[in-house]
Structure 1
Amino acid sequence: MSVIVVSGTGTEIGKTVVTAALVALAGATGARIAVLKPAQTGVGPGEPGDLAEVARLGGEAHGVELVRFGEPLAPATAARRAGAAGVRAEEVAETVEKLRTEYDLVLVEGAGGLLVRFHDGGDTLADAARLLAAPVLVVTPAGLGTLNSVALTGEALRARGVEQLGVVVGSWPEVPDLAARCNLVDLPEAAGAPLLGAVPEGAGRLAPAEFRAAAGGWLGPSLGGGWDAEAFTAAVG
């Protein structure tokens, strides 16, 4: 896969850490990697955003940010309040097409959930993925409520004819409760796609070298790692 779109079922659920893990695994193979952040919000000019965190944890990757707004809001809302136009799905797709001519892997990290609007015209990350014909990796929380969010995200992708690559739990708790443990079994059915990984809670606080060394144990073979869903589920069940 030369392009993977990383989305989520909400905000602050581990998309950036998962993206960094993908960079770490691809980088270990010698791949040239680019990471596109169509819209960064909640970060002021000159401050490190998600792309800086991906590079810090995951390793070398060319970062591209199309728009940035300081207010911590949905991109369309932040753009409107800033008197800006936001970003269109076509612009995202065009940028990715240029990047894929120079890089082996292009990762596109969304903002919030799949259908968060980029601008007042209504374009979303799902629209960009459809234009690119690129698969979407969905990051979700571990606990109660995640099944509905994952099911809705999967339904939205299928309605647009967009492939769902799979689901990754973005922050697996050190002591999982009953709902989290049961969700390991139920998530693939709810999503209509395989469970491809579970990143441990607090992974983003690891030292970069430790993060990169451990990343292969968090993501499945289709993402370049060695994580096994069946074995993991049995171990925590």
Structure 2
Amino acid sequence: MAVIVVVTGTDTGVGKTVTTAALAVRSGPGTVVVKPAQTGTDEPDVRVVARLAGCEVAQFTSLEDPLAPDTAARVRGVGIPPISAHAARVRELARGHGTVIVEGAGGLLVRLDTGGGTLLDLAADLAQDHPVLVYVVTRTGLGALNHTELTVGALRARGLEPAGLVLGAVPQQLGLAERCNRAELPRVTGVPIAAAIPEGAGALAPEDFRKQVKSWWS
């Protein structure tokens, strides 16, 4: 049975896409990366992943404005698929792949459809009949502890134990908060740090990116 990996973040811009690409490299052949909803960008996240990881990708919904998917749909007066449709398409991909990696939009509770469905709902739905690993991508600086605890708490409330935390963009020069949070994040959440991805990793040449992925993982 295929493993489904869900990549969520504590916020937007924390490094989910680069983390997704790194997970795709780590997962190896037979991996497909899915973006259920993409909003407002010149370069879709799946294109970034395909370039860095060289894997198969799929994007279900594209919306023009840089907003949460449900808001972007309402602004344009368009319909978007419900979570149940996303789940069905992910399951279909799982039948032909060893690993399906699902990258969310923004944080865990950002609405992916106009009915209130979130990435958390999608992950809980998929976990009914597939092994689901959830990675939480977070910042290293101020605010990371609170945002990460809230995200982990929301996952646990639905019976989903995070597989690990990922530091999505670790700066070369660490300040006091960044140094402390490396120890504090696993302490306050009870979730280990699975990877620390350096800031700027997404700008690496694909060959260099793929070579370095292993060194970022714990």
TM-score (ref. length: structure 2): 0.94
Contact 1:33 1:62 in 2 (8 A): yes
Aligned to 2:22: 21
Shift of 1:85: 2.2
3-state SS of paired residue (1:164)? coil
Equivalent residue for 1:195?
Answer: 193
- Runs of 4+ in structure 1 displaced over 3 angstroms? none
Asked if the contact 2:164–2:194 (Cα under 8 Å) also holds between the matched residues in 1, the reply is yes
2:40 and 2:61 mapped to 1: Cα distance?
12
The equivalences for 1:115-126 within 5 A come to 115-126=109-120
Asked if the contact 1:151/1:192 (under 8 Å) is kept, the reply is no
Question: How many angstroms does 1:89 deviate by?
Answer: 1.8
1:56 is matched with which residue? 51
In structure 1, the residue matched to 2:63 is 69
**Residue of structure 2 equivalent to 1:93:** 87
Question: Matches of 1:23 and 1:74 in 2, distance apart?
Answer: 25
Are the counterparts in 2 of residues 167 and 191 from structure 1 also a CA contact under 8 Å?
A: no
Please report how far the alpha carbon of residue 57 of structure 1 lies from its aligned counterpart in structure 2 after TM superposition. 0.7
Distance 2:189 2:133 in 1: 14
Partner of 2:107: 113
Contact 2:83 2:113 (C-alpha < 8 Å) held by counterparts: no
Give the Cα separation in 2 of the matches to 1:50 and 1:6: 13
Distance 1:18 1:190 in 2: 22
Partner of 1:231: none
Residue identity (%): 47
Partner of 2:98: 104
> In structure 2, how many angstroms separate the alpha carbons of the residues matched to 1:71 and 1:140?
24
Assess if the C-alpha contact under 8 Å between 1:154 and 1:192 holds in 2: no
From 181, 205, 212, the equivalent of 1:207 is 205
RMSD of aligned residue pairs (Cα, Å): 1.2
Distance 2:90 2:12 in 1: 23
In 1, Cα distance between equivalents of 2:25 and 2:188? 29
1:8 equivalent to 2:9? Answer yes
In structure 2, the residue matched to 1:141 is 139
Structure 1 residue 23, shift from structure 2 partner:
1.3
> 5+ unaligned residues in a row in structure 2: which ranges?
none
* 1-structure distance, mates of 2:161, 2:95: 22
Aligned AA (2:207): A
Instruction: Name the structure where strand makes up a greater proportion of residues.
Output: 2
Shift of 1:136: 1.2
Distance between the aligned counterparts of 1:191 and 1:217, measured in 2?
A: 24
Q: C-alpha deviations, 1:209-233, integer Å up to 9, x for none? A: 000000101123xxxxxxxxxxxxx
How many corresponding residue pairs? 213
Q: Is the 8 A contact 1:89 1:124 kept in 2?
A: yes
Decide whether aligned partners of structure 1 residues 85 and 190 sit closer, same or farther in structure 2, where only a CA change above 3 A counts. farther
| TM-score for both structures, normalised by structure 1 | 0.87
* Counterpart secondary structure, 2:62: strand
> Equivalent residue for 1:166?
164
